Structure 1
Amino acid sequence: MSDVEILNLPDGGVLRIGVVADTHVPDRVVGLHPALLSTLQQEKVDYIFHAGDICDEQIETQLSKVAPVRAVLGNRDWLYGRKLPHVYRFEVNGTRGVLMHGQGTFLDYWWDKVWYTLEGYRFARYRKTLEKMAPDCDLFIFGHTHRAENMVEDGRWFFNPGCASSPKYRRGPSIGVLQFELGKAPQGKIITLDGAFLEGRNWKTNK
């Protein structure tokens, strides 16, 4: 792979990456979920990956107060004139990974719109797009669908943290955490963000 960032394990031998996608500030919500930053802090992440549809660059500024941020362009980000890469490639502890939003090319995006209308969400459609964008990777981190995924298929790991703002299914807003540890297989988990719900575009605290 070209243009790959090597992420080294810290002295403790464990590297943790917080994964966030589809924050949609301010196009769908006025700000981050109240528990998002504190959850990342509690998880003691070394990096934060944002899988696109960030929209406002101030979100990256807020996230960077927790850990260094790597971010890619989502289909909504171009409306805000964002200057971000479409893909970010990295390698950690022997795992070759790629971070992308997941919508693919302009044609891929609109072709999927047609199929989504006809048959709804099908992960297999997105998998084809992901693998076409980065055929040499072991780990695919993506967003776009607003649905969490954490699965291994044919030896490849597909990880979507879900939507941090307005998910399209019953599970609430969520983020993810990946852990890489010396001598062990990498692991990932999805964390549902509790304590607040959306009322219109505003977060309301649960009582």
Structure 2
Amino acid sequence: MPPFRVGLISDTHGLVRPHAKVFLQGSDIIIHGGDICDAGVLAELSSIAPVIAVRGNNDKGAWAQELRETELVQVGEIFIYVIHDLAELDIDLEAAGVRAVVSGHSHKPLIEEKGRVLYVNPGSAGPRRFRLPISVGEITIRGMSVSASVMELE
């Protein structure tokens, strides 16, 4: 069975960059870590692959009310927990069988393994904030094996 490719994007703040769309091509699903800020972003991403998105602190209005604050997604044999702000994490990930966590909020790319849980923040793909990079990421899943990478777009 071929590996699953999960495209990761967060903190778009209403902007879908052409380079982000190119990077996300070939994803089996796309996970958006919140701060979408415009329903059109989700529509644009869903033309590439199915999208799972969570509501960020800047996602307001009727369209955003349909988004949950967290999502638990099964991809292949593993579970991925999606939350905008890691500081609001309130579950025992290992007890829940979670193998990876995708977040956003900080705009800082992160890949870190703690115990059996891989934490990935793809950074921000939206308007530049301070001197932080513009970036996206991906998770590759082969059975129970999970790896992640983040790529700067500029």
**Alpha-carbon contact 2:17-2:125 (below 8 Å) kept:** yes
Q: 1:155 to 1:167 in 2, by over 3 A?
A: farther
Asked if 1:13 corresponds to 2:8, the answer is: no
Alignment of 1:1-207 (within 5 A): 12-25=1-14, 31-41=15-25, 44-78=26-60, 80-81=61-62, 82=64, 83-102=66-85, 126=87, 129-130=88-89, 132-133=90-91, 135=93, 136=96, 137-166=98-127, 168=129, 170-182=131-143, 185-194=145-154
**Alpha-carbon contact 1:147-1:169 (below 8 Å) kept:** no
Cα RMSD for the two superposed structures: 1.9
Aligned length: 149
Q: 1:170 to 1:64 in 2, by over 3 A?
A: same
**Alpha-carbon contact 2:108-2:133 (below 8 Å) kept:** no
**Alpha-carbon contact 2:85-2:103 (below 8 Å) kept:** yes
Cα distance in 2 for partners of 1:169, 1:141 equals 22
By percentage of residues, which structure has more strand? 2
Decide which moves more: 13-22 or 162-171. Answer: 162-171
Q: CA deviation at 1:172?
A: 2.0
Give SS of 2:42's match.
helix
Give aligned-pair identity as a percent: 28
Superimposed CA distance per residue, residues 73-100 of structure 1 (whole angstroms, 9 cap, x where no aligned partner): 111112x331201111022343222111
By percentage of residues, which structure has more helix? 1
Q: 1:76 to 1:153 in 2, by over 3 A?
A: same
For 1:84, the aligned partner's letter is: L
- Unpaired runs of 5+ in structure 1? 1-11, 26-30, 104-125, 195-207
